[in-house]
Amino acid sequence: MAWCSEPMALLLAFGLLWLCSGVWGTDTEERLVEHLLDPSRYNKLIRPATNGSELVTVQLMVSLAQLISVHEREQIMTTNVWLTQEWEDYRLTWKPEEFDNMKKVRLPSKHIWLPDVVLYNNADGMYEVSFYSNAVVSYDGSIFWLPPAIYKSACKIEVKHFPFDQQNCTMKFRSWTYDRTPWTFFPSFLAWPGCEGQGWVLGASEF
């Protein structure tokens, strides 16, 4: 019995050590989140610029995960896309050495300033993304946000050469409230292998 009880004691000690380290990590993360989102220093309604003339640079990548359907009669294209957005917010910075060397934290995206990028030529009134996933924030203020979306966009269908027709479907993304003055966009496009569906083959794409 003594031989069996020793490994059990070691196992319990290891479990307690792991649990305590997890609590410490949670405490540090909680302290960091409270620091970053303190209402006295952060207002998510204000864009991250030090003055009114400073531009906010937003990197936007539209990743086509799946071409769900192209409805010829209704002239609607349905797609499953991921909208990768990257920008910097000088207010969401910290010194890692003050927070147990924590260099990244995940914040609820609805608690921080977000670029209000929408599909401008949507066909069903759904302008926003499907799910507001967490944003990954680094200590230097750089932010990475990757929300998924199911979009229905208007697409003028030409069936003159059916069933060998080629369609040019445009998805127009832009800021809903800002013009080009306070923003700088750097867009790109990525199509996942095998994203085509229902007999369609993706040809060229451009911004």
Element of type H or E holding 135: strand 135-138
Structural domain harbouring 155? 56-191
Domain count, the chain: 1
Torsion of CA 39, 41, 46, 51, to 10 degrees: 160
Band of pLDDT at residue 10, cut at 50, 70 and 90:
very low
Higher pLDDT among residues 69 and 201, named by residue: 69
Answer whether residue 154 is part of any domain. yes
How many CA atoms lie less than 13 Å away from 69 in the CB half-sphere?
8
Answer whether residue 1 is part of any domain. no
Using CA atoms, how far residue 105 sits from 35, 74, 112, 144, 196, in Å, is: 12, 44, 13, 11, 35
* The predicted structure's pLDDT at residue 106: 96
Answer whether residue 148 is part of any domain. yes
Answer whether residue 176 is part of any domain. yes
Answer whether residue 96 is part of any domain. yes
How many CA atoms lie less than 13 Å away from 193 in the CB half-sphere?
0
Answer whether residue 38 is part of any domain. no
Q: Is the pLDDT of residue 173 over 80?
A: yes
Answer whether residue 31 is part of any domain. no
Band of pLDDT at residue 181, cut at 50, 70 and 90:
low
pTM: 0.74
Answer whether residue 4 is part of any domain. no
Highest mean pLDDT among 2-11, 92-101, 117-126, 185-194: 92-101
Q: What is the average pLDDT score of the chain?
A: 78
CA distance linking residue 82 with residue 13, whole number of Å: 44
Band of pLDDT at residue 44, cut at 50, 70 and 90:
very high
* The predicted structure's pLDDT at residue 197: 54
Residue 149: CATH number of its domain? 2.70.170.10
Q: Is the pLDDT of residue 207 over 80?
A: no
Higher pLDDT among residues 194 and 120, named by residue: 120
